[in-house]
């Protein structure tokens, strides 16, 4: 008696940042099988497809076979997730569900579904908790791992979108054993609206809070930041002795002006009430015209030239004053960049930073992880990447796509590599259990 056709997934309840395998067994030999995946996430539904061929024994492994057709073209079961494409409307808070991230998989022969499976992905391990920080001068949330503490502490910083940093990243880091203070430093109630003239003393207070909290293990601390938050993470590591491990995703190692693309509003940061030395942006000739044309044609705009021209035009003394002295960090440093970043020259600046650390004979581990095929939007792994290359920028009465760079497959690989490197850096620097 023939065994029924089966879809075998393992594990069936992984954390979101964990891989799962997809195998076919008990199918007719040497037949084309269409594997489809459907996943609700952030209020939308995402779908993907891979056509594979069974072997002489009616089996196949999606991690070993390149699809004959489908939404991705390499041997990778996680392609069912990262290559998924949005169906339906843009997400809203109201239509998110408790099944977000779960992947429903079907396998069909000649249009007839013969096997199904579900992967119940989790955004946090059992026992992870979060709470608002009871400090009237901080807008922050503390994510705690399961089990008895104290746990190694990590400060988490978001980028130029403002608000809280990724709660998904915070809960997953807590799932890996870190007590995470997710800090909102602008763009929320009671904090400045814009990334301009923000006191670094505010971040100092957050560091001091981590140092004092009994649920957080004794020093050292770590800091992780994305984009402008990566710039802020590097500043924090250089300024504050308790912070001795820094992971900066797509950062600048030079302080730039506040978050404006036209004009020079001043420094993004202040120290003791004075603007931190910074590099202003500079528009290349014809930039406004090109921006208007791209808006009219519905094409995304790269703003990297504004930062590169600002760097090239800055006098040597000003550039030196704005450069972050990362050699003062006192522990491991990981800089993550994509080789197709079209927002700012994170790759170029990270290369310079590595040379600076070499020149200072920096005694701790330091790495520039440059990721091929990735742009500015490297994130938590195993999420859809089909829309990463462009991010909407909204202005009064209009919107314009911001060119982030990168490809879906490039981001998929970059997300996973960067996340694993970040965990390893934090574990090494904070002496955390593997």
Residue at 124 is within a domain: no
CA distance 357 to 383: 34
**Could you confirm whether 130 is annotated as catalytic?**
no
Catalytic residue among 76, 340, 341, 403: 341
Average pLDDT over residues 385-407: 81
Q: How far is CA 412 from the centre of its chain?
A: 11
Catalytic residue among 340, 376, 403, 415: 376
Q: How many CB atoms lie within 10 A of CB 395?
A: 8
Q: What pLDDT, on the 0 to 100 scale, is given for residue 254?
A: 98
Q: What pLDDT, on the 0 to 100 scale, is given for residue 137?
A: 95
CA distance 246 to 238: 9
Res. 286 pLDDT band, cuts 50 70 90: confident
CA distance 130 to 180: 9
| Structure tokens given for 14 | 């992984």
Indicate if 231 and 211 belong to the same structural domain: yes
Residue at 34 is within a domain: yes
Average pLDDT over residues 265-282: 97
Q: What pLDDT, on the 0 to 100 scale, is given for residue 107?
A: 98
Q: What pLDDT, on the 0 to 100 scale, is given for residue 298?
A: 74
Query: Strand 21-25 relative to strand 60-61: parallel, antiparallel, unpaired?
Result: antiparallel
Indicate if 51 and 141 belong to the same structural domain: no
Task: Give the count of domains, the chain.
Answer: 2
Burial status of residue 267 (CB atoms within 10 A of its CB: 0-12, 13-18, 19 or more): buried
**The last residue of a domain, from among 95, 119, 143:** 119
- DSSP per residue over 312-344, as a string? HHS-HHHHHHHB--GGGS-S-EEEEEETT--SS
Q: Could you read off the pLDDT of 62-119 as tens digits, one per residue?
A: 999 999 999 999 999 999 999 999 986 544 554 455 678 999 999 999 999 999 999 9
Q: Say which residue the tokens 């209020």 belong to.
A: 43
Residue at 1 is within a domain: no
Catalytic residue among 5, 48, 227, 302: 227
- Rg for the chain, CA atoms, rounded: 23
| Structure tokens given for 331 | 């522990």
Residue partners of 285: CB distance under 8 A and separation at least 6: none
Give 105's strand partners. 37, 117
Indicate if 138 and 64 belong to the same structural domain: no
Q: Could you read off the pLDDT of 134-186 as tens digits, one per residue?
A: 999 999 999 999 998 899 999 999 999 999 999 999 999 999 999 999 999 99
Q: What pLDDT, on the 0 to 100 scale, is given for residue 398?
A: 57
Helix, strand, or coil (residue 7):
strand
Residue 294 has pLDDT above 90, yes or no: no
Indicate if 14 and 156 belong to the same structural domain: no
Q: What pLDDT, on the 0 to 100 scale, is given for residue 98?
A: 60
Q: How many helices (H) and strands (E) does the chain have?
A: 9, 22
Share of the chain above pLDDT 70, in %: 95
Res. 399 pLDDT band, cuts 50 70 90: low
Against a cut of 0.85, is the pTM above it? yes
Average pLDDT over residues 405-410: 97
Domain that holds residue 100: 6-119
Average pLDDT over residues 199-208: 98
Q: What pLDDT, on the 0 to 100 scale, is given for residue 1?
A: 44
CA distance 32 to 401: 39
Q: Could you read off the pLDDT of 50-64 as tens digits, one per residue?
A: 999 999 999 999 999
Residue at 407 is within a domain: yes
**Could you confirm whether 376 is annotated as catalytic?**
yes
Q: Could you read off the pLDDT of 19-49 as tens digits, one per residue?
A: 999 999 999 999 999 999 999 998 899 999 9
Indicate if 170 and 275 belong to the same structural domain: yes
Indicate if 136 and 67 belong to the same structural domain: no
Q: What pLDDT, on the 0 to 100 scale, is given for residue 291?
A: 76
Using an 8 Å Cβ cutoff, are 28 and 109 in contact? yes
Indicate if 308 and 373 belong to the same structural domain: yes
Average pLDDT over residues 205-231: 96
Torsion sign across C-alpha atoms 178, 181, 183, 189:
positive
Backbone angles phi, psi at 84, to 5 degrees: -65, 145
Backbone angles phi, psi at 392, to 5 degrees: -65, 135
Question: Could you tell me the CA-to-CA distances from 58 to 3, 7, 114 in Å, in that order?
Answer: 11, 12, 13
101: left (phi over 0), alpha (psi -120 to 50) or beta: left
CATH number at residue 322: 3.40.50.1820
Q: What pLDDT, on the 0 to 100 scale, is given for residue 215?
A: 95
Average pLDDT over residues 361-374: 98
Average pLDDT over residues 345-366: 98
Indicate the Cα dihedral angle 404, 406, 412, 413, nearest 10°: -130
| Structure tokens given for 244 | 């001795």
Indicate if 277 and 324 belong to the same structural domain: yes
Q: What pLDDT, on the 0 to 100 scale, is given for residue 89?
A: 59
Query: Strand 69-70 relative to strand 44-53: parallel, antiparallel, unpaired?
Result: antiparallel
Mean pLDDT of the chain, nearest integer: 93
CATH number at residue 102: 2.60.40.2240
Res. 2 pLDDT band, cuts 50 70 90: low
Instruction: Give the CB-side neighbour count of residue 197, counting CA atoms within 13 A.
Output: 7
Q: Say which residue the tokens 């992984």 belong to.
A: 14
| Structure tokens given for 70 | 């489908």
Question: Which is nearest to 245 in space by CA: 434, 432, 433?
Answer: 432
DSSP helix, strand, coil percent of the chain (3-state; round to 5): 25, 30, 45
**Could you confirm whether 341 is annotated as catalytic?**
yes
């Amino acid at each position: 008696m023939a065994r029924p056709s089966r879809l075998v997934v393992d594990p069936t309840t992984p954390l979101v940042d964990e891989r799962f395998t997809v195998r076919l067994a008990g199918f007719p030999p040497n037949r084309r099988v269409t594997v489809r995946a459907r996943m609700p996430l952030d209020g939308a539904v995402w779908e993907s497809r891979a056509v594979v061929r069974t072997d002489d024994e009616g089996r196949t492994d999606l991690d070993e076979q390149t699809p004959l057709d489908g939404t991705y073209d390499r041997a990778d079961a996680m392609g069912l997730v990262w290559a998924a494409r949005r169906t339906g409307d843009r997400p809203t808070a109201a239509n998110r569900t408790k099944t977000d991230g779960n992947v429903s998989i079907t396998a069909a022969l000649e249009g007839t579904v013969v096997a199904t499976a579900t992967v119940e992905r989790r955004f946090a391990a059992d026992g992870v908790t979060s709470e608002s920080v009871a400090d009237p001068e901080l807008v922050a949330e503390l994510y705690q791992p399961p089990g008895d503490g104290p746990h190694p502490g990590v400060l988490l910083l978001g980028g130029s979108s403002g608000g809280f940093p990724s709660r998904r990243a915070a809960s997953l880091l807590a799932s890996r054993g870190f007590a995470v203070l997710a800090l909102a430093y602008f763009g929320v109630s009671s904090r400045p609206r814009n990334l301009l003239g923000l006191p670094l003393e505010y971040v100092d207070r957050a560091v001091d809070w981590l140092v004092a909290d009994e649920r957080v293990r004794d020093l050292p601390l770590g800091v992780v930041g994305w984009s402008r938050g990566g710039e802020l993470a590097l500043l924090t590591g250089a300024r504050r002795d308790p912070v001795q491990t820094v992971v900066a995703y797509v950062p600048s190692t030079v302080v730039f002006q506040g978050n404006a693309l036209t004009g020079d509003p001043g420094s993004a940061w202040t120290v003791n009430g004075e603007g931190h030395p910074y590099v202003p942006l500079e528009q290349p000739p014809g930039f406004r015209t090109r921006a208007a044309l791209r808006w009219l044609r519905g094409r995304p705009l790269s703003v990297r030239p504004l930062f590169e021209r600002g760097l090239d035009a800055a006098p040597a003394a000003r550039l030196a004053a704005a450069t972050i002295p990362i050699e003062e960090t006192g522990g491991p440093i990981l800089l993550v960049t994509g080789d197709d970043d079209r927002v700012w020259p994170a790759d170029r600046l990270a290369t310079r930073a590595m040379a600076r650390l070499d020149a200072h004979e920096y005694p701790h581990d330091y790495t520039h992880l440059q990721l091929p095929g990735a742009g500015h939007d490297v994130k938590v792994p195993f999420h859809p990447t089909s829309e990463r290359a462009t991010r909407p920028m909204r202005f009064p009465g209009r919107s314009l796509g911001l060119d982030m760079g990168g490809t879906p497959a490039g981001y998929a690989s970059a997300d996973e590599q960067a996340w694993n490197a970040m965990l390893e850096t934090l574990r090494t620097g904070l002496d955390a259990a593997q």
